[in-house]
Chain A
């Protein structure tokens, strides 16, 4: 089975721009979660989608948003980029609630640099 894929792998944007990141989950996985990883804050949860609905949300401003499509693929969007948004954005997929352990499998990440 193919793993979680994320595109693009690297992005460079300037302050004030917006960006869209894409995530394709493992086949059969219906839940997609997003995490931000920075040296200062570590790994922080952004949000989780299941059946095209946001089910859980972390403590991030409204500039961070996401969506999930009927094929379980997900996108996250960051508007009005700030320097502090520079980070590795990780997507993880899982089968969904009700599965024992409901293990999350991660993609390689998208490295976003904001200049």
Chain B
């Protein structure tokens, strides 16, 4: 079974500041991990994914995440926040074989102030 915990339902940063969104996972098998972003009244857009290759994963819009097995973490970071980054971010996990559903965290709403 897999599960994901996102710490902080809301994170506020100033424009230009570091963005750090936390995600811890639990999985009984080697996991695949994903970050998605959702803008108001839209679906989910894939930011990046970890599929057991490089532990540091780079995604779109300047985001990256590092898979740390010892800490069971997959935190999302961006060096410098932009106003357009304001959205809800979801971390998700799934098993790496067969038909496996995506299990999502509860989401973190990122607020960016000027």
Contact = CB atoms under 8 A, between A and B. Distances in A.
B111 interface: no
B112 to A, nearest CB: 22
B102 A42 contact: no
Nearest to B101: A45
Nearest to A44: B104
Grouping DSSP codes into helix (H, G, I), strand (E, B) and loop, the B interface class, with mixed when no group exceeds half, is loop
A50 B41 CA distance: 28
Nearest to A41: B106
A41 to B, nearest CB: 10
Interface string B73-114: 000000000000000001000100111111111110000000
Nearest to B34: A103
A92 B90 CA distance: 15
Given A101-B49, A106-B36, A56 B43 contact: no
Contacts of A55: 99
Contacts of B49: 101, 103
B101 A56 contact: yes
Interface string B27-39: 0000010101000
Given A42-B107, A43-B90, A101-B49, A48 B99 contact: yes
Interface in A57-115: 58, 90, 92, 97, 100-109, 111
Interface string B1-19: 0000000000000000000
Interface of A: 4, 6, 31, 33, 35, 42-43, 45, 48, 50, 55-56, 58, 90, 92, 97, 100-109, 111
